[in-house]
């Protein structure tokens, strides 16, 4: 038997910082018309680029343009239809953006093949895009709940670190233009960082969603800054060591920045403490400075970046890219009218420079804007998500994408030392294309989960707090409980580590929804207690261990003065002048 | 020099490449419009449209005046919220409070808003660090608050509403 504890009254839908209140109050619509229009327009843009190439060069339509166009728009239509079916509430902008970028990359590869004497790459790349889309479809249909990835932080971390260090294994890793961030197996080369960024974002999210309370505890206060406690520095030092190792042994600042930055940003998101960011920046700057001083090959890369024209034989790529931009100017030379054949790796490392030459800085800025909006939508997904793991995972994926794009486009435009990372969706290369489609698929699933209206009766959910309805079991996530209007919610009656017994009385109302049919009487259910401890502010009956076993103390009686008149404001010292 | 189709005049190339850039940026504008409507769209789900359960009997005073039973939050992280009050609302950062304000300047048990049986609300500071303000004045004693008073706790401003 369990004791009946003091009823607590839920006053309002409690909300936490960092939760998108719009979403909680208003909910999101399905935006299929917007998505359709944007898909068609985005695909059309890249298709126009594809046609302009041969139109400008030879005044003809491209070979097999109807077939290629058919496949291209067919792919878009397939994606559109599948996303309507599997993830109807997902962000309507992400897919069109990705299709636009992919299409511009494909159109550029088609154009590159025309003037190169290498094997044509366009069709292989088209196939890689199709495989990437296939992976996306599998994920959006099969992975209904991204939280499934949560259970294995250490396996995921180990996998991520192994992937990161793979290129250092002799015989397996291969180095290209100074960076050792590729592995090649049987003629296929592959950049493990592409997969590692997804795996590590999941690992960090799992770890941090577990440890964020601890990590946000303040330690010493130095110069007005609350530093984290020394004992919590372990993981960040491990990441710091890893990133310095990548800088020294793989000689790639971009990869190093990507993974250390990813970790630091995710700690920041998890704890909300700016001191972690400052600590990370200081560590990275100090470590980087030391490495540059003592590792001469790293120093050389910095020299190539700062003074490329002093090293015409070594910094060729960077110099060529600068000439390309200069030739393109503001409006670009026009599709097919530039000279990407002069740039080494114009189709992979330097793709932003080659495209920038042909569509000019105006076009390149548009592409940067597309990346920016994509990252913004990813972070928005993180904002509207309630579950901490998913929230961190979405933020991590967005940051990884952001840092990667920033590193490579920054490198190409000489804002940063050049890195060998791929440009997502633009670079030639199957592994990068597929990995980034998987990343997008995960974001879309999370976006759908976050934006869809909740509390669908009878839907199974492995977490949350469950109250038994009249006929069917009604499943509430913490968000729904936050949205339940006024009503008495009794504190936990009985608890063990695995389960929660929640009694709900009153008429729960889901924001914007209909009457849920839960009768105005007590309902009780035993539910799994998985994530509830993460929502301390949300509901008063929360599941912190100390509050679980002890019934909540009755509130102290308010000290209401016993004698006053209805309008006697003076009593309270308000207008005694 | 790149090959150039003899028939495509340089002018046409210029016009077409500008047209391409124009549709590229138009696409971005359209995306921005969709984002905008995503944010401000579907206003129908405001909490204030949700039917609230019946209020306590003491909603009307003896003289039949209507009393405020809603707390409207005007600034801070909960801005825009309208909260149905219960007769006794502890405000603070602690989870034990009825109104949890996640604000750096709010103490764990900051203030209490209580309803008197005779009608009317009074606000009492529970020994907070940064004080409780009514109409920009820090209160020292329990203070009656009505619909015209602005309550400030930390960086959160709120008002009673009927």
pLDDT, tens digit, for every residue of A554-571? 444 444 444 444 444 444
pLDDT of residue A149: 79
Give how far B129 is from chain A: nearest CA, Å: 19
Query: How high is the pLDDT of residue B148?
Result: 81
User: Does residue B125 come out as left (phi exceeding 0), alpha (psi in the -120 to 50 range) or beta?
Assistant: beta
Q: Mean of the per-residue pLDDT values for chain B?
A: 75
Q: Establish if B4 touches chain A: CB-CB under 8 angstroms.
A: yes
* Amino acid A495: pLDDT: 31
- Mean pLDDT (chain A, rounded): 73
Give the Cα separation of B28 and A93 in Å (integer).
11
pLDDT tens per residue, range A95-135:
999 999 999 999 999 999 988 888 888 999 999 999 999 99
The model's pLDDT over A218-231, given as tens digits with 9 standing for 90+, comes to 666 666 666 677 66
CB nearest B38 (choices: A16, A31, A559)? A31
Over residues B69-124, the pLDDT tens digits come to 888 887 776 677 777 777 778 888 777 777 877 777 788 788 888 887 777 888 88
User: For the CA atoms of chain A, what is the radius of gyration?
Assistant: 28
- C-alpha A475/C-alpha A107 separation (Å) is 48
- Residues A192-241: pLDDT tens digits? 888 899 999 999 998 888 777 777 666 666 666 666 776 677 777 888 88
Burial group, residue A520, by CB count within 10 angstroms (0-12, 13-18, 19+): exposed
Please state, in angstroms and rounded to a whole number, the distance separating the CA atoms of residues A20 and A177: 44
- Residues 460-489 on A with a CB inside 8 Å of B are 485-487
Q: For chain B, say whether A556 makes contact (Cβ under 8 Å).
A: no
Q: What is the largest CA-CA distance in chain B?
A: 94
Could you tell me if the ipTM is greater than 0.90? no
Show the beta-strand stretches assigned E in A380-495.
465-468, 473-476, 487-490
Would you say B100 and A11 are in contact if contact means Cβ atoms under 8 Å apart?
no
Cα-Cα-Cα-Cα dihedral sign, residues B18, B19, B23, B26: positive
B155 CB near a chain A CB, below 8 Å?
no
pLDDT band at A178 (very low <50, low <70, confident <90, very high): low
State yes or no: pLDDT of A87 exceeds 60.
Answer: yes
Q: Which of A57, A399, A553 is nearest to B96 (CA)?
A: A553
Q: What is the pLDDT of residues A31-86, one digit of tens each?
A: 888 999 999 999 999 999 999 998 888 888 888 889 999 999 999 999 999 999 99
Cβ burial, residue A376 (10 Å; 0-12/13-18/19+): middle
Identify the CA nearest to A35 among candidates A448, A504, A401, A406.
A448
Judged against a pLDDT cut of 70, whether residue A145 lies above it is answered with yes
Q: Rounded to whole angstroms, how far apart are CA atoms A357 and A340?
A: 8
Q: What is the mean pLDDT of residues B143-148?
A: 84
User: Which residue, among A368, A547, A574, A576, would best test binding to B if mutated, counting the most B CBs under 10 Å from its CB?
Assistant: A574
Q: How far, in Å, CA of A471 to CA of B40, rounded? A: 37
| Higher local confidence (pLDDT), A430 or A452 | A430
User: Are A9 and B30 in contact (CB < 8 Å)?
Assistant: no
- The Cα–Cα gap between B162 and A424 comes to 54
> Is the confidence at residue A368, as pLDDT, over 80?
yes
Check residue A274 and give its pLDDT: 81
Nearest chain B residue to A542 by CA distance is B95
Most confident range, picked from A523-537, B53-67, B68-82: B68-82
CA–CA distance, B160 with B149 (Å, rounded to integer): 8
A540–chain B Cβ distance below 8 A for any pair = yes
Whether residue A293 contacts residue A299, with contact meaning beta carbons closer than 8 Å, is answered with yes
- Of all residues in chain B, the percent with pLDDT exceeding 70 is 77
Higher pLDDT, B140 or A331: A331
Distance CA A125, CA A46 (A): 15
- Rounded to 10°, the helix A253-271/A192-215 angle is 30
Average pLDDT estimate for A425-441 = 92
Q: Is the Cβ pair A38, B27 closer than 8 Å?
A: yes
Dihedral pair phi/psi, residue A475, rounded to 5°? -105, 125
φ, ψ for residue A9, nearest 5 deg: -105, 130
| Interchain contact B22–A (C-beta under 8 A) | no
Partner B contacted by A97 (CB < 8 A):
yes
Per DSSP, the three-state class of B83 is: strand
For β-strands A523-528 and B70-73, DSSP reports them as unpaired
**B23–A contact, CB cutoff 8 A:** yes
Q: A486 pLDDT exceeds 80?
A: no
**Percentage of chain A surpassing pLDDT 70?**
70
pLDDT in tens, A329-338: 899 888 988 8
**B-chain residues within 8 Å CB-CB of A542?**
95
Interface mutation vs chain B, best among A10, A273, A334, A553, most B CBs within 10 Å:
A334
Chain A CB contacts of B15 under 8 Å are none
- Residue A442: predicted pLDDT: 95
- C-alpha A273/C-alpha A573 separation (Å) is 41
Does B53 lie at the interface with A, CB-CB under 8 angstroms?
Answer: yes
Q: How far is B161 from chain A (nearest CA, A)?
A: 15
What pLDDT is recorded for position A221? 66
Inter-residue contact A29 to A86 (CB < 8 Å): no
Instruction: Give the one of A9, A22, A115 whose C-beta lies nearest to B39's C-beta.
Output: A22
A359 touches chain B (CB under 8 A): yes
Give Cβ neighbours of residue A173 (< 8 Å, ≥ 6 apart): A166, A167, A180, A182, A183
Question: Which residues in chain A are closer than 8 Å to B4, comparing Cβ atoms?
Answer: 56-57, 337
Residues 377..436 of A with a Cβ closer than 8 Å to B: which?
Answer: 377
**d(Cα A385, Cα A18) in Å, to the nearest integer?**
9
Position B65 pLDDT exceeds 80: no
Return the pLDDT at A176. Answer: 66
Per-residue pLDDT, averaged over A165-194, amounts to 76
Q: What is the pLDDT of residue B139?
A: 84
């Amino acid at each position: 038997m369990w004791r009946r504890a003091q009823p607590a009254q839920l006053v309002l839908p409690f909300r936490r910082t960092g939760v998108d209140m719009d979403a909680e109050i208003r909910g999101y619509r399905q935006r299929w018309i917007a998505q359709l229009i944007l898909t068609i327009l985005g695909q059309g843009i890249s298709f126009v680029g594809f046609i302009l190439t041969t139109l400008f060069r030879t005044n003809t339509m491209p070979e097999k343009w109807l077939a290629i166009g058919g496949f291209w728009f067919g792919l878009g239509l397939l994606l559109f239809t599948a996303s309507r079916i599997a993830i109807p509430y997902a962000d309507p902008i992400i897919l069109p953006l990705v299709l636009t970028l992919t299409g511009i990359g494909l159109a550029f590869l088609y154009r590159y093949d025309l003037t190169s004497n290498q094997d044509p790459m366009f069709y292989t790349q088209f196939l890689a895009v199709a495989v990437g889309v296939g992976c996306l479809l599998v994920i959006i249909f099969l992975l209904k709940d991204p939280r499934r990835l949560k259970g294995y932080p250490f396996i995921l971390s180990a996998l991520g670190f192994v992937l990161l260090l793979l290129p250092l294994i002799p015989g397996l890793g291969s180095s290209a233009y100074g960076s050792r961030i590729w592995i090649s197996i049987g003629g296929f080369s592959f950049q493990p960082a592409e997969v590692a960024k997804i795996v590590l974002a999941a690992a960090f999210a799992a770890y941090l969603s577990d440890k964020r309370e601890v990590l946000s505890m303040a330690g010493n206060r130095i110069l007005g800054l609350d530093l984290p406690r020394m004992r919590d520095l372990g993981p960040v030092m491990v990441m710091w060591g890893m990133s310095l190792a990548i800088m020294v042994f793989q000689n790639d600042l971009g990869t190093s920045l990507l993974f250390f930055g990813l970790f630091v940003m995710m700690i920041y998101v998890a704890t909300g403490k700016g001191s972690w960011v400052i600590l990370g920046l200081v560590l990275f700057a100090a470590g980087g400075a030391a490495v540059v001083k003592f590792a001469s090959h790293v120093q050389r890369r910095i020299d190539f970046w700062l003074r490329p024209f002093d090293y015409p034989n070594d910094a060729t790529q960077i110099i060529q890219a600068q000439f390309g931009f200069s030739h393109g100017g503001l409006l670009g030379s026009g599709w097919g009218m530039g000279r990407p054949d002069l740039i080494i790796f114009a189709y992979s490392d330097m793709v932003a420079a080659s495209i920038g030459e042909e569509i000019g800085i105006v076009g390149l800025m548009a592409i940067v804007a597309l990346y920016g909006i994509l990252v913004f939508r990813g972070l928005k997904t993180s904002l509207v998500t309630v579950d901490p793991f998913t929230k961190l995972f979405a933020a991590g994926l967005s940051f990884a994408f952001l840092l990667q794009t920033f590193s490579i486009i920054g490198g190409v435009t000489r804002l940063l030392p050049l890195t060998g990372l791929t440009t997502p969706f633009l670079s030639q290369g199957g592994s990068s294309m597929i990995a980034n489609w998987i990343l997008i698929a995960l974001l879309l699933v999370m976006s759908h989960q976050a934006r869809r209206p909740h509390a669908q009766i009878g839907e199974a959910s492995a977490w949350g707090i469950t109250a038994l309805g009249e006929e069917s079991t009604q499943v509430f996530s913490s968000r729904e409980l936050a949205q339940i209007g006024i009503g008495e919610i009794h504190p936990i009656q009985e608890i063990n580590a695995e389960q929660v017994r929640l009694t709900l009385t009153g008429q729960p109302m889901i924001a914007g929804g209909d009457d849920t049919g839960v009768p105005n009487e007590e309902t009780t259910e035993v539910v799994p207690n998985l994530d509830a401890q993460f929502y301390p502010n949300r509901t008063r009956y929360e599941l912190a261990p100390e509050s679980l076993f002890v019934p909540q103390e009755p509130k102290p009686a308010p000290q209401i003065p016993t004698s006053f008149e209805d309008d006697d404001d003076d009593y309270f010292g308000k207008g005694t002048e | 020099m790149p090959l150039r189709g003899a028939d495509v005049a340089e002018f046409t190339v210029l016009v077409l490449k500008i047209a391409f850039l124009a549709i590229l940026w138009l696409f971005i504008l359209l995306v921005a419009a969709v984002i905008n409507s995503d944010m401000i769209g579907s206003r129908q789900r405001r909490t204030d449209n949700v039917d609230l359960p019946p209020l306590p009997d003491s909603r009307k005073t003896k003289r039949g005046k209507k009393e405020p039973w809603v707390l409207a939050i005007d600034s801070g992280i909960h801005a825009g919220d309208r909260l149905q009050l219960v007769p006794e609302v502890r405000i603070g950062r602690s989870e034990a409070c009825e109104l949890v304000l996640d604000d750096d300047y709010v103490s764990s048990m900051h203030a209490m808003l209580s309803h008197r049986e005779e009608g009317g609300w009074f606000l009492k500071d529970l020994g907070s660090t940064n004080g409780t303000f009514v109409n920009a004045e820090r209160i020292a004693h329990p203070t009656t608050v009505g619909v015209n008073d602005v309550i400030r706790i930390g960086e959160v401003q709120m008002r009673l509403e009927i």
